Amino acid sequence: MPARPAPCGIHLVHDDGGSFGPLTDLRPAHDLRCGVATIAERLALRLGGTVRHAEVRPELRPIASQRWDSSDAAATLEQVVVHARLLSLGSLDGLAVGERRIAEDGTFVAARLAAGADAGAVRRMVDTAPSPADHRVVAEFATAPWSITARIGRTLEEDLPLRHGVHGFGACARRALRPDEGQSFGAHPIEIAPTATIGPLAVIDASKGPVVIGENATVRPLSVLVGPCVVHAGSIVAERALLKASTVIGPGCRVGGEIGATIFQGFSNKAHDGHLGDSFVGEWVNIGAGSDNSNLLNTYGEVIVRLEPDGGLLRTGRQFWGSVIGDHAKLAIGTRLMTGTTIGTGAMIAASRPPASIVPRFAWITDDAGGPKSFRIEKFLETARAMMSRRDARISPEHEKLLRDLHARATGA
């Protein structure tokens, strides 16, 4: 990794690109998890700065602004303007004051300004048309959930030098498994926090990528972790679980069964047997025992996905893609999800047949002959509070307003 740059204030800027469906109902795209950190956290760690401002949709500002550093001290630093969906951290190396970088197709990537630059100077760096003076770089951006999961291996390789700055990995140190913990093999790094617990007969396979286990995480006996893989702070991997390659389990999760090429944003449960592959799961999701998803068409063709009920079909460019499951969704035992299914925020599914490939936000789907209904907002909030209380968490007033407004828009109530 290159030498750490001088401290800076960071401005995250968005364009109109990217489609993430329900995953960005309650957060901006730059807060999506992609390795040992979110997109925004990775950018800040690589740049050696703190986020001073981030462009977000108006309804998200009360939540996002709580994390901005608008202090006078931040204003006296050099300012870096960076595309908020940038995934390829190498695109930022050696960025000099006055330099502007763009991608091969002309998309703005980043620019560095002298201390004291005002908002107008920041905006001009973004809005100015490409010119021969710009430095063109190869850059990758998050454009859809599958664009993030597809590069988990490369993302984690980039993240390893940064993980000491990530909450939940600060005390991380490489150590071999003790004889009573199981066994490991493979040439890639295995990073285990000292406070993590590894049960007997667990197996860590680092032959194809690194494995990182965060603070106070628990890996129960007889489980198998295949790198590249991350288990974040406070998560529990159940007995006999199989975490296949390119899996990221966010903080505070409970996972079991077979999971592969999937990201859990955080605080979600899939604690029992069942398969989940090539998917992206939001926060506060509960997936019932024996639930399975398909991540491959019978025709072996490209998976086509709809991320919005009123949106068009999107080509994933992938033969393998499973599901997008929005925050606070609840799936009853034995739920089956077909290839390319999208479950909206707050949906509740308890039906014997697979749901449609696009499930609206706050849908209430059962075998009731009356057809699909909507989750009543007060009942939804009661359920959400009950689940969150089990992690000693609560819905903030800002989040509750965001959920109520989202429910009103989705259901017309």
Tens of pLDDT along the chain (413 residues) come to 455 566 788 999 998 889 999 999 999 999 999 999 999 999 999 998 889 889 999 999 988 877 766 666 556 789 999 999 999 999 999 999 999 999 999 999 999 999 878 878 888 888 888 889 999 999 999 999 999 999 999 999 998 887 665 666 654 556 668 888 999 999 998 989 889 999 999 999 999 999 999 999 999 999 999 999 999 999 999 999 999 999 999 999 999 999 999 999 999 999 999 999 999 999 999 999 999 999 999 999 999 999 999 999 999 999 999 999 999 999 999 999 999 999 999 999 999 999 999 999 999 999 986 777 999 999 999 999 999 999 999 999 999 999 999 999 999 87
The answer to whether 29 and 20 are in contact (CB under 8 A) is: yes
Q: Strand locations in 125-246, DSSP E?
A: 135-137, 173-174, 182-185, 190-192, 197-198, 202-205, 211-213, 218-219, 224-226, 229-231, 236-237, 242-243
User: Cα 381 to chain center, whole Å?
Assistant: 23
pLDDT of residue 4: 57
The answer to whether 283 and 326 are in contact (CB under 8 A) is: no
pLDDT of residue 122: 81
CA distance 232 to 99: 36
Entry pTM: 0.94
- Closest to 82 measured CA to CA, from 23, 135, 176, 14: 14
> Within 10 Å of residue 51's Cβ, how many Cβ atoms?
23
For residue 258, what are the contacts with CB-CB under 8 A and spacing of at least 6? 241, 242, 244, 273, 274, 275, 276, 277
pLDDT of residue 117: 81
> Within 10 Å of residue 313's Cβ, how many Cβ atoms?
10
Domains annotated on the chain, with CATH:
8-143 (3.90.550), 152-267 (2.160.10), 285-413 (no CATH)
pLDDT of residue 63: 86
pLDDT of residue 176: 67
